[in-house]
Chains A and B, each alone.
Chain A
Amino acid sequence: MDAIIALEDVRFAYRGVSQYVFCGLDLSIPDGAFAVILGPNGTGKTTLLHLILGYQRPQHGKIYLAGELQEQYTRREMSRLVGLVPQDEAVAFDFSVLEYTLLGRAPYIGPLDMPTDDDVRIAMEALEIAGVAHLCMRSIISLSGGERQLVAIARSLAQQPRILLLDEPTAHLDLSNRNRILCVLRTLNRQGTTVVMSTHDPVAAAAVADFVVLMRDGKVVEAGRPKDVFTAEKLSITYGVPVQVLRLEEQLIAFNPLS
């Protein structure tokens, strides 16, 4: 498998901050992978997603997407290649769910053009894949956390990107909603989309990932197949606390025992 995302010696610090978030980061994610970036809070997971998206630019190093340097893509090409489901997106106006999902078609609609019937059809299909088509005329602000996250994913589906980035998509969700989201993402991944999801929850990661990146303090502790990476020792290093790993009905369960 070729790498669809490759970072080479990336150094990055936020403007006005002397401390580097990444100091020589190397990472490659295979094409078609369901990759999970796992690490404690504040370790640079969101920043990494922003770098892949091009929302932040590294001070040093190169980022390749689908074999090309990131800078060679125009804004429009980038938005057709990479989609993002941000964490905690605030919506200021009460759009209907369908109007909100239609925004995912923006990469295919000129700055002065309006969405066509085709765009509406694609947005509706995206809502159906995410299992929330029945909500299409509801106000986006009235949705529950789980529904809201599924609609945000539907918007990214309407965008039809080759790479879908998700920033903590299962945070704040209960078990059943978490699994709904993971199922939708797995379906999408099987249809060929590379999914890159950040999370601090090792159980969610183990359930779906076929590629795991363990991160701590802006460094990659380990990257590879779950069965190689998901060990008590490596997870303990990542989280800085003793972690035990259990295997239960083909699922890996990691936890930090309360002392």
Chain B
Amino acid sequence: MSAAYHNYNHRTARQLRYLVIALGCLLFLSTLWGRYPGASLLSPTGLWQDPLAQRLVVTLRLPRVLMACLLGMGLAASGSTLQMIFRNPLVEPGFLGVSQGAAFGAACAIMLFGAVPFATQSLALFFAGLGVVLSYLLARHIRFGGWVLRLVLSGIAISALFASGVGVLKYVADPLTQLPEIVFWMLGGLYAVTWSRLLSILPIVLPSLMVILLMRWRLNLLSMGEQTAFSLGAAPTRERAIALAAAVGATAAVVSISGVVGWVGLIVPHMARRLAGSDAQKSLPIALLIGGIFALVCDNMARTLLAGEIPLGTLTSLFGAALFIVLMTTANPWLRGAR
């Protein structure tokens, strides 16, 4: 009988191999893919002979491609983690005030300093963090409900506060200069990525991803509810707080650069669970890879489909929602009797 289990593990290992290869190829092709002026691939030999093209690829294309990959991975890992610790498959990484906090911070920066990328990113990161802290503090003061319900409710309240703050800022913004900047930021996009901005978030994103990957089997335990996790030797409150901090840190960091990019963190964990089962030991690495591929494909389209940049957030929402509908209406082929 455990032979069936080992087959199952081998299937996951095979899926992982394929996805790593796919992501590797995609990364390589993405660095060559662009509008010259029609959407096409740069030939490697042409690149070798053209110093201008080389510089373009290394200083502009490469950081953007890597950032897209990191964005997808961060949101997918964070979404998977939060869905497990909140025991709710509809949780999305930005829900604890992170997304709206970041949007508010970015809008503030645009109003105060104009479109200075460093200021926008810093304030977005700061307010994303503030959003989580406020949600957490408010949750501790809510007088009813369990841990999950309290955090969800306070996340909704804090997000709404920041959203209305963004509304006020939009209302008073200069409609010719500031307002378009704010709107563009909130639609999400990676057009302003540089090496220095990419490197600036690595100290947050990489340790967070590492913590989540190392804890991934433990996440199963934390998804079982308080009594069970406790009786199996976990310290649920402390371990959840660690996983939560890692997930939120990764989200806040990538969102501070990309703006609001919806649906990746919600849909990718579902796709990964469909492929590899609910056990996070298997599905989390798969989610990371799918997230990277998904965000990279969407960003490639965003920068090449039209002459102008298409906001990344609209593309991820479009494809994310479409995939969500497909997943929700088809049966799981792997697990007998699954929902």
Using CB atoms and an 8 Å cutoff, list the residues of chain A in contact with chain B. 50, 53-55, 75-76, 78-80, 82-84, 86, 89-96, 98-99, 103-104, 106-107, 109, 111-115, 120-121, 124, 127, 133-134, 136-139, 141-143, 159
Contact = CB atoms under 8 A, between A and B. Distances in A.
B273 A136 contact: no
Given A120-B2, A141-B337, A142-B336, 13 more contacts: A80-B233, A82-B231, A83-B231, A84-B228, A94-B332, A96-B278, A98-B2, A106-B218, A112-B214, A124-B2, A134-B1, A136-B1, A141-B338
A93 B89 contact: yes
> Which of A89, A90, A139 has the most B CB atoms < 10 Å from its CB?
A139
Contacts of B338: 94, 139, 141-142
A89 B88 contact: no
Nearest to B87: A92
A79 B232 contact: yes
Contact of A75 (B5, B235, B332): B235
Given A107-B232, A137-B336, A89 B2 contact: no
A192 to B, nearest CB: 20
Contacts of A91: 224
B196 interface: no
Nearest to B277: A96
A28 B227 CA distance: 23
Contacts of A75: 233-235
B84 A93 contact: yes
B232 A104 contact: yes
Max chain B Cβ within 10 angstroms of own Cβ: one of A103, A113, A134:
A103
B337 A79 contact: no
B64 to A, nearest CB: 33
B231 A95 contact: no
Given A95-B278, A138-B337, A53 B230 contact: yes
A99 B273 CA distance: 13
A163 B336 CA distance: 34
A136 B228 contact: no
Given A112-B214, A115-B217, A53 B281 contact: no
Contact of A111 (B1, B88, B218, B336): B218
Interface of B: 1-2, 4-5, 8, 84, 87-89, 214-215, 217-218, 220-221, 223-225, 227-228, 230-235, 239, 273, 277-279, 281, 332, 335-339
B232 A92 contact: no
13 contacts: A50-B227, A79-B232, A86-B227, A91-B224, A92-B223, A93-B89, A93-B223, A96-B8, A96-B278, A113-B217, A124-B2, A124-B5, A138-B337
Given A55-B231, A95-B279, A103 B1 contact: no
Nearest to B143: A16
Contacts of B230: 53-55
A134 to B, nearest CB: 7
Contacts of A113: 217
A136 B337 CA distance: 12
Contacts of A142: 336-338
Most A CB contacts (10 A, CB to CB) among B4, B84, B220, B232 go to B232
A111 B216 CA distance: 9
Contacts of B337: 138-139, 141-143
B217 A96 contact: no
Contact of B234 (A106, A121, A136): A106
Contacts of A106: 218, 221, 232-234
Nearest to A84: B231
A109 B218 CA distance: 9
A137 B4 contact: yes
Nearest to A152: B228
* 9 tightest A-B CB contacts, nearest first: A142-B337, A79-B233, A84-B231, A93-B278, A92-B87, A139-B338, A106-B232, A107-B233, A112-B214
Nearest to B283: A93
A115 B233 CA distance: 15
A78 B231 CA distance: 8
Contacts of A139: 335-339
Contacts of B89: 92-93
Nearest to A156: B231
Contacts of B228: 84, 86, 89, 103
Nearest to B229: A106
Most interface-central of B215, B218, B225 (chain A CB within 10 A): B218
A60 to B, nearest CB: 22
A118 to B, nearest CB: 11
B277 to A, nearest CB: 6
Contacts of B214: 112
B186 to A, nearest CB: 31
A94 B339 contact: yes
A114 B217 CA distance: 6
B131 to A, nearest CB: 25
Nearest to B217: A114
A138 B336 contact: yes
B287 to A, nearest CB: 13
A82 B235 CA distance: 15
Contact of B232 (A50, A103, A138): A103
A257 B215 CA distance: 55
Nearest to B211: A112
B239 A99 contact: no
Nearest to A16: B143
Contacts of A107: 232-233
